[in-house]
Structure formats: structure tokens, C-alpha cells
A and B are shown apart, each in its own frame.
Chain A
Amino acid sequence: MQHSSTRQVLVGALVALAVGVLLIGGVLRVARLTVVRGATEQNAVVTAASVSQVLAQVRAADGDLQAVARGLVDRLEDVDRIRVIDSGKRLLAASTDAADLTAGEVPRRLGREEKAWFDQAKELEANHRTNISEGNARKDEILRMAVAQSQLELVLPLFAGDTVDGSVQVLTSAVVPRVPGPRLLPLAVVAGAFLVLVALSVLLKGRWLFAGGLVLLVVGLWAFAALGLAGLAAVRHDVEAAIAHHALEVRDAVGLEAPGTTLDITAWNVDRFGAPRGTFDRAGTVATETVDAGLAEGGRRFGQAAGLLGVFALVIYYWVGAGWTVRTWQALRKHHTAYGFVLPAMIGMIVLVFFPFAYGVVLSFTNQTLYNVNQPLYDLWVGIDNYIDILSDVAVWHTGEDGSRIINFQNFYWTLGFTILWTVSNVSIGVSLGLILALILNTKNLAFRPFYRIILILPWAVPNYITALIWKGMFHRQFGVINQVIAMFGGEPIAWFDAWHTSFFAVLATNAWLSFPFMMVVSLGALQAISSDLYEAARVDGASRWQQFWFVTLPSIKPALVPAVILSVVWTFNMFNIIYLVSQGEPAGATEILITDAYKIAFEQYRYGYAAAYSVVIFLILMIYGVWQNRVTRATEGI
């Protein structure tokens, strides 16, 4: 940082401010457009909902739907066409579209090419029923079909009492609320911040100037975002007033057309799920608190986004201001052939490894499930809720009615503890068994050595799911060979998968069988590389067999053994097949390990976001372990 020159700091600050203003300003612009577009759509919804309310009342009173529909199109300036579908009778009940009427007088039966209209009505019916039965608003009760830039077609449910048995299609032309344009004040503040920095650069040098720039950058961008958000809030209040005004106009027009009907403008002000928005009352007065509450939620999301973008701007400032850009550029120029060679592999890694990984991490911050898999991730953002949910549940056991301790086997910490137990015991068994067998095979002049070696490697050669299924069969309570042997010696058969410790033993035995050949092969290779001079020297010095093993053999094979152990720990930690096939988590999920649990959450419960968070947690645990292991053993130095 002491290398940063005044010029670098100023350039860095300028670039960072420009990037920050462009990005945060971009978000503000999108938000502003969204507010205006949302208000335009809401105007259309209000109009369409009024039409649907009136038509439902006309139908209930056996009035002339077609005549009222025509009248509404005439009276309401923003309504271009109305169609009424009766899904119960499969009728086109009314239509103001000339083309529809040439195909036959209304009401008439819907034709095959008009199936989509019928399906829309049935969809609204099902969605309304779902929302009612689940007691929340999840399914759309207003369908939006964008027709052209200035037109929007809305399909609303046609109610008969409390149930839906048809739909009303309303083609509306946009009523865009008028709002004041963006202000220049925020930009002026940012420019001022930069000018102050330029002035400062006369007084300060080096790291002090860098620090001053940092402060000005933070203050400048914060002020820019805050002023922009305030401007947005003003726009929002304006458009809500415009919507209320529009609703009053619609009421007057509709009232003229259908005098006998009850008209409630608050019932027209609904969101896409049919839930009331409550932003104005029956008299058309804007409910400021409701609007502000909505703004607070939007402001929080904007704050998160602006904060992230601000951090990004600060990173750029650091990168440029502290001279890293220059150094990066120099390194790229100096070693351009080397980077050229690495480039294809880097692209491959980015596409095949880093992108899926990053996608998984992003997914872990959403609540994507089977139900909302086709929605954009942005709409499903829940922040770190999944992580809190996973990590905060520390109640591993609770006390039952009779005072006994009942373990909740589904708890994350139980599963984590079990996974660690599983890993440690498996690797210990694998290493010791492998080492012992390697030592035996390494005996000089051992007869039939190649034969033994092949036999001992066989468990490794058989596909592990086949081995797993065979072992599962051997542990069967009534017909498994292990229980039959126990019974042969007069013992009671054991129900292996009934208690977690016997179930654990079963999976442990299976995995030990699978894991020792690898350790044996690794150890054997290392053993054969030890020079016999070392043993000779040890014997001359009077070392016992035990001392030879402890001071000569072990240190010599350590460089080969330690990476193998690290690998083996990671494999065993994520040894999916054995648990999934042999114990299947029995009893009651007690012998589930983290990776099988993550699989079940993703593909049995279809909670993709939650499962992604689970996987990220597994990744973090393994990463911490890997870093720690490297520190302790310095294993990578030997390679």
C-alpha cells in the first residue's frame, strides 16, 4: 500500500465512483421503471377487477352480460375488449370482439381453437381453490398476457358466490401515471466528493490520501444511494395517489353503466394473487402507512443490493488505488505465453467446476423447491435463512414423557457427529488394516505373494454398490449369513438395523472391507521404496523390531501415507453408496451421514435451496479440515 501514488489514488477513486454510480444508479433506474410499470399494470388491474365485479353481479341477477360488456367497453376509456368465459358450461358467455361474434352469436359453446380460454378459467378456479385451502396467497388469481407495448390483457376469475366458475378477459390500454423525472442532486453530491478528494491530494500523500479517499468514497456512494432511494419513495407515493384517482374515475364510469350494482374500489386494488393491497380506502384516500411499510421492505432489499455494489466499488478502488492493476498488467505481459497455455484449462474449469459451484452457492440463498422451480432465483431470495435453519437447531435430544432421553436423529449436529465418528473409525481401521497387511506382504521371500496380493485387492476391484448389496444381505435378520453363524453357535440373532450402534457396525464392516485395499497398496509401494540400508544400520545400532518400525518404517512411509489419509478422509466423509445402500439411514435416520441427508432433502423432499445450503455447509467443513490438515502435516510440501 505504501506504493500507492497520488495519481493512482485519484484514478482509483474516479473509476470506483463511476462504477458505483453506474451500478447503483442502474438499480435505481430499474426500480423506478418497475414502480411506474407496476402502477400502470395496477391501473389495468383496477379497471379489470371492476369489470369482473360488475359482470359477476349482472350474471347473478340474470342480466344481459353482452349488453353490459359492450356498455363497459364504451364507458371505460382504457378497456378495449371484454370476453366472458363460463367454464362450467364451456360457453363464451359474452364478447365484444367482432371476430368472436362472426363465429356465432353469444352465448355459444367454445370451439376447439378456443381451448386456451377455457383452460385459463379452469386454472384460475384451481388457483383460487389452492389459495383458500392452504390459507395463503401463492397461486396467481390474475393472469397477465402482454399483448403489445401499450396494451395488456388481464384474465380474472368470474365469481359465483365464493367459487370461481369462469373468467373475464379484459384487454386494456395502458394508463401510465405521470411522475417527476430523476433529480440531479445525488450526482452533484458524488461529484462534490471527488472534488474534495482532489483538494485533499494537495495536503495528503500515500496511505493517508488512500484512507481519505476511502472515507469520501463510502460517504459519497452512501449519499448517492440514500438520496436516490428518497426520490424513489416520493415517486411511489405519487403513483399510489394516481392509482386511487384512477379507481375513483372507473367507479364513476361503471356506476353510470350499471346503476344497480355494489361497487367497492378497495376490492379492485388487489395484487396478482388476488390479495387486497390496501393502499387506499373506499373514499380513495391513500393509506400512507401501508405504502410506507411496502417501501420499507423494498428499501431493505435495495439497501442489500446497493451495499453489495458499494463493496464491489471499494474493491475496484483498492485494486486500482493500491497499484494492483499495474502489477497485474505487468505480470500478464511478462508471462503471456504461460497464461496463454493455461487459458483453455481455465475456461474448462470455469465452465465445468466454478460455474456449477457458484450456482450451488447462489441456490443456497434461495428457497427454491419443487413448487417454484420455474421462478427466477431473484424472486426466491431468502438470504442466510437456510443456514440459520440448519445451524441453529441445537436440540439434539429432548426429554420424553417418561423422562427418558429421546435423540432427534434428524438433527444436523447428530448427523455431523455421526459423520465424524464414521469417518474417523473408517479411516483408522482402513489405515491400520492396510498397513498390517502391507507389512505382511512385504516380508522377504514370502511364498505365493502375487496370489495374496490379487486376493487382497479384489474387494477394491468389485464395484462398491455390488459389495454393499451383498453385505446388506448378509446382515438380514432371519436369512443373513451372519445371524445364521451366530445362531449356529447358539447365540440370539441380532436385528442389525434396529439400533444405531449395531447398524453403525454393519456399515463400518462393509466400508472397512472396501477401504483397506487402497491403504494396503499405498503402504506397500512406500514400504518397497525404503532402502534396506536403513534397517541394517538400525540393527547395527541395536534397535528392536518395534523400534525399527517406529523410527524407520513409519517416518519413511509418512510422505506417501499422509496424502492418502487426507484423500481417504474426504472420500469416507462423502461415502454415499455404503450408507445409502446398506443401512439406508436406519434406524430412523440415525446412521445418515451429511451427504446422504443432503441427497434426501434435495431428491426426496425436493427442497433444492435448503439442500444447496446443506451442501455448502459440508463443503465448508471439508475445506476447514483440509486447511487444518495441511497446516498440521505440511503434507503438500513433500509432493
Chain B
Amino acid sequence: MKTRILMLLAVMLTMVVLPAVAAAQTELVVWHAYRGKERTAFEAAVKAYNDAHAGKVTVNTLAVPYDAYADKISAAVPRGKGPDVFIYAQDRLGGWVEAGGTIEPIDFYLDQATIDRFIPTTLAAMEYQGNTYGLPMNYKVVTMIYNKALVKTPPRTSGELVKVAKSLTDVAAGRFGLAYSYGDFYYHSALMNAFGGGVFENGRDPKLDTPENIRSLELMMTWYDTDGILPAEPSSTLITSLFNQGKAAIVFSGPWFLSEIADDIDYGLATLPTIDEAGGAPMKPWMTVEGVYVAQPSQHKDEAFDFVLAITGLDAGKIMALQGRQTPANKLVYDDPEVAADPVLKAFRAQVEFAVPMPNFAEMTMVWSPATTAMNSIVRKTTSPSAGRGAEGRGWSGWRAWRK
């Protein structure tokens, strides 16, 4: 009997207290997929926000395992079971917008000062069909990473690159002047964009066999085949081990590669070279931009956007750059003396000037598989770049089926 009365009291107490608490404080849930250092830095930035808004807004973060993350968003958010804010790279943006009910457009909130504080290409990655759906937080871009013991001055042009690489290549000994995943379309994009190529025509219709793309592939094959400066079948583990053994002088890769470099390797970063064959145009890699989005079913959109604004702001950016070793999309961060003194952050900031946001159209998923197939058969010389049109199989026209 006594316990029953106690329980009743407890229930009544919660009924009285809970609404009071809820009215005073908004709870926001944020989903992300960061791990390790990046997670620590992100959580530190969120904590700083919480401290500044104590009593008004509390942001709770949830780290979702990456492999299930996208599907979890697709399934949970439109049904109102998801977070208020979530962080994801721009590549799924188009699909989520087309499916509907997932991401809140935020153009309404944007003012000129907000637009101006971001590196323009990173904000462009958040746009779909003329509407802006999120604010960019960090970007990841491929740049040139070289072994300082082997390369004194990093090459600035493709001519210099080939010359340096040739002098450092000894195939019999398994040494290569240059190593990158050239068979991977993501890495090839830097060359493709240098020649002015692309994968879409008329807006969003996939098309691979443009003259520019063919020329970029021919140059890649010259490096691999004629100049012989690249290893065969370069998987990411192979490139890492070659670089760590001092058997690869120059690598084209992104920030994820830096954590894998062995301690005894003294490495430097430099902007990707310009391409003589493309009239001196710079290599322009595709970059991925981690956007912060407000979930459409969220009950606290205004508060959620205020958080998005803060987490992509200067203070949060500094924490993520210095503690998380991330590269913020907020360009004001790079004016900070501590960030400006960091050679790695400086190098990525320089490279991003020559980066193209990876298309955020859902049609992009249709491109990967045929492009990979085409790249493989070109690298294996089963087709020449100009005849590499066999990739357009049944799956190729799949995107047409979407638009019915």
C-alpha cells in the first residue's frame, strides 16, 4: 500500500514537473557518424554550444555507425522518428530531397553574411534544384602528399610530375614515383575536371563518353602505360604500404590517408599539379562536403537552425580544425593564427580553391558502377578510352526509370 502511494506521488510529481522543464528547455537530437578524434572534437563543439545556451537548448548527439547511417536516415526521418539535425556528406542529398519529407530547405534563414562566410563551392554542394538544404561544416578533398626524403620540391605541372616520378620509379624493385587509385573514378575526377569533363549533360542526364573525359583517360593511360610511373591494381592498402615503405614518392589522397602514414615518414602536402596537356588547367578533384541538415519533421526547426548556424560557425570550426584535424568549410576559421600556422590545414585550404563539389544528384549512384567498369576495362587495356562505351549496359539507363 505504501509503495502504491509513493508511486502515485511520483507520477503526480512528474506530471507537474515535466511540462515545466519541457517548456523551459528545448532538447535537440543530432545524428552524426564521426569516430575517434573527429567525434571528440565535434562533441566538444556541441558542449560549448550547450554551455552557451544553458537552460534554453540542450543538444544531444548520437553517433550512428557509418555503414547503416544513410539507410537509417532514409527510413526514420520521413516517419518522424529521426533526429532534429543530422550530418551527412552531400552525395545523398538529391535522393533525400526527391524522396521528400527528409530535409528542410533553409533558404529562408540565409542572409548575406552567412552565405559569405563559407567557401563558395562548399555551400554550392548543399544546393539542389536551386534550393539550399543545409550548411557545410567540413569538406574532404584529395591533394598531393609527398615523401620529403624523396621529393625536394613538389612538382607544379604535369610535366614536372612525370619527370620527377620517372626518376624515382624502379618497377623491378617495386618502387613508383606516383601512386593513387587511378582506376577509381573518384580519384580520376581530378584529371577529368582538369580537362573540363563531367558526368552529366542537360542538367542531370548521366553521360560518360564525352571528348573531354576521353582525353583525361588517355592522359591517365599515358602515365600508367607509356611513362610507367604507376603501380598496377592500386588498392588503398597497397598505396599506404608503398608510401610507408618509401616505395611511393608521391600520393594523391585525402585527409583520411594522413592518419595511416607511418611515424618515420616525413611528408609534405602540396596542391595538385596543373595539367600541361589540358592547357595548364589545374587538377580539380571532387570534394565531399559534410552538410548539417535540419530534419523536416523536427518540432524545433528554429532552434535546430540556430544550432546549425553555430556548429558551422567560427568557434566550432576552430575546435574541429585543431582538435579533430578536420577541414572546416567556414573560411573565417583559416584566418585564425593557430589554424593558419598549420601546414596540413593550409594545404587543404589551398587545394579546395581548385575543387569541384561532387554532384549531389541521386543519378550519381547510377554513374559509379558503369564508370568503375569502364575504368577497369580501360586500365586493363581491354578497351581503349575512346572505345570505352561498352559500360552502358542494362543498368546504365536505370535513372530513366526513376523519372516516370
B109 — which chain A residues lie within 8 A by C-beta?
A: 115
Chain A's interface size range is 35 or more
A75 at the interface (CB under 8 A from B): no
CB of A315, distance to nearest CB on chain B (Å): 34
Name which residue of chain B comes closest to A131, CB basis: B403
Q: Does A212 contact B (CB under 8 A)?
A: no
CB-contacts of B262-314 with A (<8 A): 301-302
Against A, the Cβ 8 Å flags (1 = close, 0 = not) of B214-244 are 0000000000000000011101001000000
Docked-complex contact B394 and A588, CB < 8 angstroms:
no
How distant is the Cα of A367 from the Cα of B390 in the complex, in angstroms? 26
Please tell me if B376 contacts chain A, counting CB pairs below 8 Å: yes
- The verdict on A476 contacting chain B, using a C-beta distance below 8 Å, is yes
Contacts of A134 in B (CB 8 A): 203-204, 403
Give the CA-CA distance A123 to B95 in the complex, in Å: 15
B170 at the interface (CB under 8 A from A): no
Determine whether the beta carbon of B380 is less than 8 Å from that of A587. yes
A605 in contact with B101 (CB, 8 Å): no
Kindly state whether residue B100 has any CB partner on chain A within 8 Å. yes
Residue A371 lies at the interface, judged by CB distance under 8 Å to chain B: yes
Which residues of the partner chain B approach A369 to less than 8 Å between Cβ atoms?
401-402
Within 8 A of B (CB), among A323-380: 367, 369-374
Chain A residues with CB under 8 A of B404? 136, 138, 367
Q: Does A194 contact B (CB under 8 A)?
A: no
Contact across chains for B108 and A604 when beta carbons are under 8 A apart:
no
B390 and A136 form a contact (CB under 8 A)? no
**A110 proximity list for chain B (CB < 8 A):** 108
A119-B108, A370-B95 known; A498 vs B380 contact (CB < 8 Å): yes
B259 within 8 A of A: no
Residues of B within 8 A of A586 (CB): 376
Q: Which residues of A contact B95 (CB under 8 A)?
A: 370, 606
CB-CB under 8 A from B382, the residues of chain A are 498, 587
Chain B residue contacts of A558, Cβ below 8 A = none
* B204 adjacent to A133 (CB under 8 Å): yes
Nearest CB of B to A271, in Å: 16
In the bound complex, CA of A607 to CA of B398 (Å): 8
Range, interface on chain B: 35 or more
Q: Are A371 and B99 in contact (CB under 8 A)?
A: yes
Residues in A whose Cβ lies below 8 Å from that of B203: 133-134
Residue B60 at the chain A interface, CB threshold 8 Å: no
The answer to whether A119 touches B105 (Cβ under 8 A) is yes
Taking CB atoms and an 8 Å cut-off, the chain A residues in 570-627 that contact chain B are 586-589, 600-601, 604-607, 610
Once the chains bind, are A393 and B394 in contact (CB under 8 Å)? yes
Contact, CB under 8 Å: B402 / A370: yes
Closest to B301 in A: A115
Contact B362 A477 (CB under 8 A): no
Q: C-beta contact mask, B365-386 vs A, less than 8 Å → 1, else 0?
A: 1101100010011001010000
Give A129 to B98 CA distance when docked, in angstroms: 13
- Bound: A498/B380 CA distance, A: 7
**Chain B stretch 231-261: residues in CB contact (< 8 A) with chain A:** 231-233, 235, 238
Q: Give A408 to B392 CA distance when docked, in angstroms.
A: 10
Q: A371-B99, A411-B394 are in contact. Are A588 and B365 (CB under 8 A)?
A: no
Residues 114-155 of B at the A interface (beta carbon under 8 Å): 128-131
Closest B residue, CB atoms, query A472: B235
User: Could you say which residues of chain B place their CB within 8 Å of the CB of A408?
Assistant: 393-394
Contact B395 A600 (CB under 8 A): yes
Given A90-B108, A115-B108, A479-B238, are A370 and B393 neighbors across the interface (CB < 8 Å)? no
Is B196 an interface residue when CB atoms closer than 8 A count as contact?
no
Decide yes or no: A476 and B78 within 8 Å by CB, A118-B107, A134-B403, A605-B366 being known contacts.
no
Q: Which chain A residues lie closer than 8 Å to B3 at the CB level?
A: none
B202 at the interface (CB under 8 A from A): yes
**B350-374 vs A, Cβ < 8 Å mask (1 yes, 0 no):** 0000000000001001101100010
Decide if A477 touches B365 in the complex (CB within 8 Å).
Answer: no
B232 and A587 contact, CB distance less than 8 A: no
Cα A610 to Cα B397 with chains together (Å): 13
Cα–Cα distance between A615 and B190 once the two chains are bound (Å): 38
Is A424 interfacial (CB-CB < 8 Å)? Answer: no
Could you tell me which residues of chain A, from 396 to 416, have a CB within 8 Å of some CB in chain B? Answer: 406, 408-412
The proximity string for B residues 154-193 relative to A, scoring 1 for CB distances below 8 Å and 0 otherwise, is 0000000000000000000000000000000000000000
Asked if A478 and B401 make an inter-chain contact with CB atoms under 8 angstroms apart, the answer reads no
| B391 within 8 A of partner (CB) | yes
Q: Would you call A122 and B105 a contact (CB within 8 A)? A: yes
Which residues on the A side are within 8 Å of B98 (C-beta)?
Answer: 370-371
Asked whether A129 lies within 8 Å of B376 as measured between CB atoms, the reply is no
Contact residues in A for B100 (Cβ distance below 8 Å): 374
Question: CB distance B395 to A478 under 8 Å?
Answer: no
A129 and B99 form a contact (CB under 8 A): no
Query: What's the least CB distance linking B145 to chain A, in Å?
Result: 21
- CB pair B393–A477 under 8 Å, yes or no, is no
A605 to B398, CA, bound (A): 7
B17 to chain A, nearest CB (A): 29
Cβ-neighbour of A374 out of B78, B232, B366, B398 (below 8 A): B78
Does A126 lie at the interface of the complex (its beta carbon under 8 Å from any beta carbon of B)?
Answer: yes
Contact indicator per residue, chain B 67-78, by CB within 8 Å of chain A (1) or not (0): 000000000001
Residue A421 at the chain B interface, CB threshold 8 Å: no
> Is A495 engaged at the interface, CB distance under 8 Å to the other chain?
yes
Determine whether the beta carbon of A605 is less than 8 Å from that of B233.
no
Residues from chain A with Cβ under 8 Å of B131 in the complex: 122-123, 125-126
Q: Which residue of A lies closest to B97 (CB)?
A: A126
Return chain B residues, CB-CB under 8 Å to A605.
365-366, 369, 395, 398-399
Question: Do the beta carbons of B99 and A374 come within 8 Å of each other?
Answer: yes
Contact A606 B377 (CB under 8 A): no
Q: Is the CB of B232 within 8 A of A478?
A: yes
Which among B109, B302, B376 has the greatest number of chain A C-beta atoms within 10 A?
B376
- Does A130 have its Cβ within 8 Å of any Cβ on chain B? yes
What is the CB-to-nearest-CB distance from A54 to chain B, in angstroms, rounded to a whole number?
26
- Tell me if A112 is interfacial: C-beta within 8 Å of chain B: yes
How distant is the Cα of A208 from the Cα of B259 in the complex, in angstroms?
A: 85
A115 to B296 Cα, complex, angstroms: 13
Q: A126-B130, A129-B129, A129-B130 are in contact. Are A118 and B108 (CB under 8 A)?
A: yes
* B390: chain A residues within 8 A (beta carbon): 406, 588
Q: Which residues of A contact B101 (CB under 8 A)?
A: 374
Residues of B within 8 A of A600 (CB): 369, 395
For the complex, what is the distance from the CA of A410 to the CA of B130, rounded to whole Å? Answer: 36
Contact B402 A477 (CB under 8 A): no
- A610 B376 Cβ-Cβ under 8 A: no
Do B380 and A606 touch across chains, with their CB atoms under 8 A apart? Answer: no
Identify which of A90, A138, A372, A479 gathers the most chain B CB atoms within 10 Å of its CB.
A479
Are A370's CB and B362's CB within 8 A? yes
Q: Please indicate the chain A residues that have their CB under 8 angstroms from the CB of B403 in the complex.
A: 134, 136, 138, 371
B202 touching A133, Cβ below 8 Å: yes
Closest residue of chain A to B238 (Cβ to Cβ) is A479
Inter-chain contact B401/A410, CB cutoff 8 Å: no
Complex CA–CA separation, A587 to B202 (angstroms): 30
Say whether B393 contacts A589, CB under 8 Å: yes
Given contacts A125-B130, A374-B78, 14 further A-B contacts (CB under 8 A): A112-B302, A115-B108, A134-B204, A138-B404, A367-B401, A371-B402, A374-B101, A408-B394, A410-B394, A478-B233, A588-B373, A588-B393, A604-B395, A605-B366
18 chain-A/chain-B pairs, Cβ below 8 angstroms: A119-B104, A123-B105, A130-B129, A134-B203, A134-B204, A367-B401, A369-B402, A370-B95, A370-B362, A393-B394, A408-B394, A495-B380, A586-B376, A588-B377, A600-B395, A601-B398, A605-B399, A606-B95
**Interface of A toward B, CB cutoff 8 Å:** 90, 110, 112, 115, 118-119, 122-123, 125-126, 129-130, 133-134, 136, 138, 367, 369-374, 393, 406, 408-412, 476-479, 495, 498, 586-589, 600-601, 604-607, 610
What residues of chain B have their CB less than 8 Å away from a CB belonging to chain A?
Answer: 78, 95, 98-101, 104-105, 107-109, 128-131, 202-204, 231-233, 235, 238, 301-302, 362, 365-366, 368-369, 373, 376-377, 380, 382, 390-391, 393-395, 398-399, 401-404
- Which 9 pairs across A and B sit closest by C-beta, in order of nearness? A410-B393, A126-B129, A410-B394, A605-B398, A371-B402, A369-B402, A133-B203, A115-B108, A118-B108
